[in-house]
Structures are given as C-alpha cells and as structure tokens.
Amino acid sequence: MSQGSGEHQLKYMFYPKSVAVIGASRKPGKIGHEILRNLIEYGYPGKIYPVNPSADEILGLKCYKSVLEIPDEVDLAVISVPAKFVPEVLEQCGKKGVKAVAVISAGFGEIGNVDLERKIVEIARKYNMRLLGPNIFGLVYTPSKLNASFGPRDVLPGNIAFISQSGALGIALMGWTILEEIGLSAVVSVGNKADIEDADLLEFFGKDEHTKVILIYMEGVKDGRKFMKVAREVSKRKPIVVIKAGRSERGAKAAASHTGSLAGSDRVYDAAFKQCGVLRANNFEEAFDWARALAILPPPSGENVVIITNGGGAGVLATDACEAYGLKLLEMPKDLEDKFRKYMPAFGSPHNPIDLTGQASEEQYKGALLEALNEPRIHSIILLYCQTIITDPEALADAIIEAYTQAKVKKPIVVNFVGGVECDRAMRKMEKAGIPTYPTPERAVSALAALHRWARYAGYIKQT
Amino acid sequence: MSQGSGEHQLKYMFYPKSVAVIGASRKPGKIGHEILRNLIEYGYPGKIYPVNPSADEILGLKCYKSVLEIPDEVDLAVISVPAKFVPEVLEQCGKKGVKAVAVISAGFGEIGNVDLERKIVEIARKYNMRLLGPNIFGLVYTPSKLNASFGPRDVLPGNIAFISQSGALGIALMGWTILEEIGLSAVVSVGNKADIEDADLLEFFGKDEHTKVILIYMEGVKDGRKFMKVAREVSKRKPIVVIKAGRSERGAKAAASHTGSLAGSDRVYDAAFKQCGVLRANNFEEAFDWARALAILPPPSGENVVIITNGGGAGVLATDACEAYGLKLLEMPKDLEDKFRKYMPAFGSPHNPIDLTGQASEEQYKGALLEALNEPRIHSIILLYCQTIITDPEALADAIIEAYTQAKVKKPIVVNFVGGVECDRAMRKMEKAGIPTYPTPERAVSALAALHRWARYAGYIKQT
C-alpha cells in the first residue's frame, strides 16, 4: 500500500524543517491550539506556521489564511479541520509541495465514511505526500524536539519508539511514560492507517539511529503479509514489542467496533509474531518493562543466567519465574561456587540462586556482581535485594553502578529491590545509570527473558 | 501439633498487656535494640520490659537482669539471644508464667540444629506457652499498636493480615506496603514454624474482627491436612490469598535449602488450594492487588460485570482480561443500552464495554456509574479512564467517590486510570475513599476476578 518513495518521505515527517498547523486555534483546550502550543513549548527549532483564515496571530506567531500563503517550503502539515474540509486542505498542501501530512481530524472510516477516507488517500498519493491518520492525536519525535500532538507535552527523550492504534489509550500512555520516567524516541498515533501503517514505521524506525526498540499497541493490521515481511527483517536488527489487543473473541469484537480493525484469529497473530521474532506482551506494563531492558542492555551471548540475592524468598520467586519464562539457570561449577563463597557468611549459598544472606554488605554485593560480570560462563545476571537494616539501598545502588561500570565485559543485568521509599529512590538512580530495575523479581525475570528471546532470534545466542 | 488452648494463648501474642524484650540491646542496629525501639516508637500502650543482665536502662526504660525479676505479669516475651541460651531463657519464661513467646533467634532447624529446635518446643509445651518462630523478624498487630519486629516501624493500619515464611522478603514487603500505602492488621514472621504454624494463625485471624483478608507467603506447610481443614472453614468467612513459592522444580529445591521446607509437588498444592477456596497468587504484586480489593469491597451477588471506559483501547484490554481471568461480561439488554446512551455522544457505544468516548465529562462518568450501581442486573463494575484534556482526573475521582457514596446498593468496583502524575494522585484519593485502584486495566480485572472466585466459594454468588 505504500509508495516507492515512502521511506524517503517519512523523513520529512520526523525531521521537518518547517511545520504548518492547519486549523490552528486561538482557544486553549481546542485541539488546533494544543498542538501548536506543544510544538512551540517542547522547543521545536524549525519554522512553525499556524494556518487559520480568521486569525492574524496565534501564540505570538503570524497566522496564514491558507497553506498556499506561507512564504516558505513546508515539510509537514498537521491538519485539524472538520473532516469535510480535509480534501480541500490536502489539495492545497499538494499544490504547495508539502511532503508529509498528519490528519488529526476524525470522521472518516472509523464512523463509516470510507469514501471520504479513500478520497484523502488519493489526493495524498496524487501529490506524492505521505499521510498519517486520519483520526489521530499526532506525533512526537524527540530527536527533532518535535511534539506535534495534543497529548502531554514533556515526553522524555529516550530510544523507544511507541506506535499506538488507540487514541485515548495512546495519549494516556504518553503521560504514563512521563510519570514512570520512560524515555521515548517517538510517539506515533496511527489511527485509521489509511496510508502510513505499522510496516512503514517499522521500516523507518528499523533504520533510525535514535530508536533501539519499537513498541506497538495494535488492534489489527491492514496488510498482514507486508507486516510480517518487514517485521521479520527489522527484528533481526532491533526488537519489536507488540501489545495485540483483541485476544479474546469478545475483545476482538470490541476492537472491531472501536477502530474498525478485523482482529482476526488470535492464534494466527500469535504464530505470525513468533515467526517474525516479534515479542508479544500481554499488557502495556509488561511491554514497557521489556522495552526498557531491550533499550539499554546489550544482548546476551549465551543462555546461562545467575541470580544474586540477599533474600532466600526472593531467590525462590525468581527461580520459579525463570522456569515460567524460559530462562536457563546456570548449574554452578565447583570452582565458581568457591569464587562466590568469598562474598557470603558460612550459612550463605553459592548455588544458583547465589544467596549472600540478609547480612550481605554493599562490598559483598559488589564483589559477587563483579565476579559474575567478569566470568565468561555467565551470560546474564538477575540481581535482587530485600531491604534490610544492614545494607542501605542507595549505597548498594552506588556499588552496583560502580561494578557495572568497572566490569571488563558488558552483559545484561536486571535488578529488583523490594522495600520502602529508599528502594524506590535507589532503583530510579540505577535506571538513570543504564541498569533496568523492576518492582518485583518476576517482572525483572520477565524482562530479561524477553531480551533472551530476542537475542535467540537475532542470532546473538547460538541455537544448539 | 498445636495445643488445645492454642487459640486462647494466641490472644496474648496479639493483645498483650505487657511485653518483655529479652536480649534488649543498647546498640542501635542490633536486633535487640531495634525491636525495643519499634515497640516504643510505634506507640504500644502496654508495659514494656527490656531484659539484659548488663544494662540498667535502655531507651529510657528500666532494664531487668532476667524475666524472673520483672515485678509484673508478662504476656508476651520477644527473645533475641544466641540460640544456645534460648532453652534457659524459655525455662525462665515458663516459670514466670509468660503466655506467648516470639523467638527471633536463628540457629535452629534451618541450619540443621533440629534437636535444639525440638527442645525449645518441649519447654514451651511444658509451660503451656505458644511459641512463634524461631528464626523470625517478629510480629506486628496494628489494632494493639504493637510493632515487636525489627522491620520497618510505620506499618499502616488496615485489615490485611500478612504472614511470611521468608524473613528478608517479609521485612522488605513490610517496607513496600508502606510505600504503596497498603494497610495491614498484622505482620507475622513464622520462620521455622516450630510450634505456631499457618493453620493456627488462620484460626486466629479467621475470627479477628480487625482482619478481612489473610495473605500468606509460603514455601511449604508442615501439616498439610490440618492446613486444608482450617483453610476450608476460614475461606467461607474470609478470603485467604497465598503466594506459594517453589512452583518450579528448581524453585522447590531452592526453597528447601532456604527454609528447609519440603515443598512437595506444585500440582498437589494447586489442587489443595482450589479445594479449600484459597486464592493462589502468582507473585506478591498480584497477591496485594487482590488483597486490597478483597479487604474493602463487598462480595458480588452475581456474575454480571460491566466495563465503563472513555478509551476504546483500554476497554478492549479489559475485555481480553475478563476472558482470561474468568469474569463474565453482561450481554447488555436493550433497555439498559438505552439508559447508558444518555451519558455519551452519538458515536459512543452502550454495549459492554460501555464506551463513553474521549469526550466523556465527569458528569457523564458519574451518571453512567450511578446507573450501573443502581441496576440490579449488574453485579460488579470495572471503571477505566484514559487521561484526556477534557476531563480532569482529580475532578473525575471526586465524581466517582460521590457516585459510590450516593448509590443505594454497595457493589464491587475496581478502577484503573492511565496517565500522568494527576492520575496517580486521583487514584490515591479513591483508594483512601475505599475504592481499589490499579495501574493497568488487567490488574484491575485480575483483582475483581479474585473477588468473584472467592464469592463463588463462599456462596455469595449462587452456582448455577
């Protein structure tokens, strides 16, 4: 469905030199106002041109009667006018030589106006413009300081590209990522996917140096074959995480009435995702848990995992989770047991889980962690800590960051601290230092398991 | 294994008129110091007697050479002396007429000192004392303002009794409940369960008016038959949530080396729990998610659930989760659809999920919620909100609280708001008002499903 020049044109969408907001409004709360304000306040450094036939100036910027009046090239036009005016506006954009358009307006295929939707795609194609939407909340691309959405403003920069088929949920999740301090390279609302669809964005983000992980909330795909073809290739370079809603029969029906997607049989999706190396998450919490690990950790070079803990209980829970999520715990060789024994009292356990006991100090944690990081027979590490009065969580966080920085080899590590507000602070500190942290042992294990699955698909772990 | 007078004696453990801390220490950081300090600072109103042969005063309290010297009755003795001195101290407690003892000290069965453990149980039995432990971090009972533990001090009062077989994890989870603002009636560290075991505590908390839910972290049970017998009865009155670690073979081995539990086949546990109405959670996040709902919601009187949302995507995710967790979504009768249509624009959906659309106002949410609360064909409600610029999360929280308060009938409701920090604040507000809230649609559904499972077992929902 995409054009030959598609990828080329998508660059103008994410790296525009100038943006027109057609349907810009003076009224706070109006979509055409909020988009313009987000563009300005998020710090977009290019030219911004509000278009509104009945205003001279909005938010301090000179306003134009139509896009044709703008005395400059326009790379991206964000369109927020009533649906019936969209064809006319698109014709003007085409004549102006606009490269890409994001049609915010609703009132197309999603409410049965299929002809109107077909018409706008035809106009876009005629002028070789790529079209995002319609029926979307906009797009964000943090490397360009571009927030052309009416969602929350202060999206944190990072390297996860988030693509959402759902509007309200997508906007809400933008806010949630800010709350959870999750960095994003992009947020793209795909809406009705009349022209630009998931596969196009996979191609773009697959090559985008600012994106390490692509996360998609999806209710259905338009062209399954194309999606699979592209996903199979992109997955070899970058992990793709998908939340595919409409698992259940009733959920699929609800999805159909929501976005008009033909959700298809869930088992078909499941099989297709597996075949393409796509990591399917059960919910958005899990999806972002995985994406955070995938975005900052190196891939493991083998299957051997060790658990380091100061709490036997947490170690047991993580062991159970390793089996449930398909991670292989290293059978500890005698010489390794002896090495780890140095970092624990006599009643500790150097088996795997390595139990440093509740008496473990920062130094012992650091010693054991360095041992694991520098040991070639160990490929990934799960580090757990239960808050005690013996070890201060923040001092322990510093010790872990030091060990991770000092280690000769980079290998994946996921961390879970269980305890009070001090643990929360310590985890945020590690997160900032590039170590992914989780609120439970199971969620840490689940994220590491996703990384292992991807590493197997992409060939970092040799299949035996 | 318990004595005939067991339950009677347990009262002295949770409602002691006086507590002796044997092995009280002057040194901050020492267990015998921290327990004494927690007792004092958490506001225990009874008499506190530190016992230490080489101190005159600790933390402003007169110190005694031995428990025998205390010029008063002692209901509960908390013992923190080296393992080898515990038998002697217990003999003194017995002679003194102490009713219950909590043996903090480690160094018994868990490291192979089975004889020493047997000996202390014999002494306790001889004097008709109940014994908690050994190898524990203590106990907390918030209705008595009793914090006789060396865990965090400021445990929040509530009606969940938390029993932990794991020490480090148990302490860490105490801190975590404070961070998460989860209220507890009790925290009991059961350690080696030499005398008091889960079944004894189930009996006590089953009748305790301050406890609505009993949550157990368990690696194994000593007397499975007794546990089942008691759990079966208690479950009819109060929900029991269990995290049973050691699911996997390797996890079971780790549990065995950790607490010496014979973990047994996981499938046997699974079947036994189901038979007794015990709700088995996969992890502690899930366990507390469930417990919060079970602790404050009335049981549903039937199976019919409705989802109210302003985001189609969130509605689809919740629908999928209802199927996955075994909740039945009401097939909306025509007259009910018409009722709900009043609270949405033309493009909304009065089917189930009831989609008020992104344009939903507080008033529309409140109207739809009141409709659902007052409608006898609806038994439980899942309320979802995706943050928009149209509805303020905190104003919406107020509207929801108002509706819940005004409704003629009390029925279960679980809430999920997705968005930024304003949603977080709004959820904490609802939580305080007695409405359980969750960070994702799936976690909300999972908690409601646990409540439904329990209501089926306990006979609130008539099985058809």
Instruction: Please tell me whether residues A213 and A323 are part of one structural domain.
Output: no
Lowest pLDDT segment from A36-40, A294-298, B263-267:
B263-267
For residue B249, what pLDDT is reported?
Answer: 85
Query: In angstroms, what separates the C-alpha of B37 from chain A's closest C-alpha?
Result: 13
Residues contacting B271, CB < 8 A, separation 6+: none
- Reported as a single tens digit per residue, the pLDDT across A205-258 is 999 999 999 999 999 888 899 999 999 999 999 999 999 998 888 888 877 766
Residue B464 lies in a domain: no
pLDDT digit string, tens, across residues A64-115 = 999 999 999 999 999 999 999 999 999 999 999 999 999 999 999 998 999 9
Q: What ipTM describes this predicted complex?
A: 0.94
pLDDT value of position A264: 63
**Record: contact A168-B310, CB cut-off 8 A:** yes
Q: Is the pLDDT of residue A1 over 80?
A: no
Cβ neighbours of A284 in B, within 8 Å: 317, 418, 440
Q: How far away is chain A from the Cα of B218, in angstroms, using its nearest Cα?
A: 9
More confident residue, A77 or A409: A77
- The whole-number pLDDT of residue B264 equals 63
Q: In a structure prediction context, what are the per-residue pLDDT tens digits for chain B, which is 464 residues long?
A: 344 445 567 999 999 999 999 999 999 999 999 999 999 999 999 999 999 999 999 999 999 999 999 999 999 999 999 999 999 999 999 999 999 999 999 999 998 999 999 999 999 999 999 999 999 999 999 999 999 999 999 999 999 999 999 999 999 999 999 999 999 999 999 999 999 999 999 999 999 999 999 999 999 888 899 999 999 999 999 999 999 998 888 888 877 766 655 556 888 889 999 999 999 999 999 999 999 999 999 999 999 999 999 999 999 999 999 999 999 999 999 999 999 999 999 989 999 999 999 999 999 999 999 999 999 999 999 999 999 888 999 999 999 999 999 998 899 999 999 999 999 999 999 999 999 999 999 999 999 999 999 999 999 998 76
Residues 6+ positions from A165 with CB-CB distance below 8 Å: A190, A191, A193, A216, A217, A218, A219, A220, A259, A261, B313
Angstroms from A329 CA to nearest CA on chain B: 9
| Domain range enclosing A132 | 6-293
CA–CA dist A418, B399 (Å, integer) = 35
- Does residue B57 lie in a domain region? yes
B314 and B284 in a common domain: no
- For the record, the structure tokens of B237 come out as 């009155």
Say whether both B174 and B235 belong to one domain: yes
* Bond prior to B134 in cis (omega within 30° of 0): yes
Q: Report the DSSP pairing between strands A18-22 and A47-51.
A: parallel
Q: What is the pLDDT of residue A220?
A: 87
Asked if A217 reaches chain B (Cβ–Cβ under 8 Å), the answer is: yes
Query: Which uninterrupted H or E stretch holds B380?
Result: strand B380-386
- Residue A464 domain-assigned? no
A49 domain residue, yes or no: yes
Give the model confidence (pLDDT) of A176-204 as tens digits: 999 999 999 999 999 999 999 999 999 99
Specify if B463 maps to a domain.
Answer: no
- Residue B286 φ/ψ, nearest 5 degrees: -65, -45
Judge if B214 and B120 occupy the same domain.
yes
Q: Domain check: are A197 and A303 in the same one?
A: no
A residues 313..342 contacting B (CB < 8 A):
313-317, 319-324, 329
For residue B363, give the CATH number of its domain. 3.40.50.261
Strands B157-164 and B138-141: unpaired
Domain count, chain A: 2
Are the beta carbons of A134 and A83 closer than 8 angstroms? yes
Which string of b and e fits A326-355 if b means at least 16 CB within 10 Å? ebebbebeeebeebbeebbeeebbbbbbbb
Chain B contacts of A442, Cβ < 8 Å?
A: 282-283, 285
Are A348 and A212 in the same domain? no
Alpha carbons within 13 A on the beta-carbon side of B36: 28
Specify whether the CB–CB gap between B375 and B301 falls below 8 A: no
The reply to whether B273 and B304 lie within a common domain is: no
Res A62 pLDDT > 60: yes
Last residue of some domain: A260, A293, A326? A293
Task: In whole angstroms, give the CA distance from residue A372 to residue A383.
Answer: 11
Q: How large is the average pLDDT for residues A386-398?
A: 94
- Whether residues B453 and B436 share a domain: the answer is yes
C-alpha–C-alpha distance, residues A455 and B276, integer Å: 43
CB-based contact (8 Å) between B29 and chain A?
yes
Same domain, B243 and B386: no
DSSP 8-state symbol, A299: P
- Note the pLDDT of residue B46: 97
A313 in the same domain as A273: no
Same domain for A243 and A355, yes or no, is no
Contact between residue A241 and residue A277 where contact means Cβ atoms under 8 Å apart = no
Beta bridge partners of B58: B61
Of A275, A293, A311, the last residue of a domain is A293
Q: Indicate whether A179 and A265 sit together in one domain.
A: yes
Distance separating alpha carbons of residues A325 and B37, to the nearest angstrom:
43
- B1 located within any domain: no
Q: Find, in chain B, the residue whose alpha carbon is nearest to that of A393.
A: B172
Query: Could you tell me which chain B residue has the CA closest to the CA of A253?
Result: B316
Q: Of the candidates B293, B325, B342, which is a domain's last residue?
A: B293
Residues of A in contact with B424 (CB under 8 A): 179
Listed as own residue / partner, the contacts of B286-289 with beta carbons closer than 8 Å and 24 or more positions apart are B286/B443, B286/B446, B287/B215, B287/B217, B287/B241, B287/B242, B287/B243, B288/B160, B288/B177, B288/B180, B288/B182, B288/B215, B289/B438, B289/B443, B289/B446, B289/B447
pLDDT for residue A464: 62
pTM, 2 dp: 0.95
| Assigned token pair, B435 | 């409405």
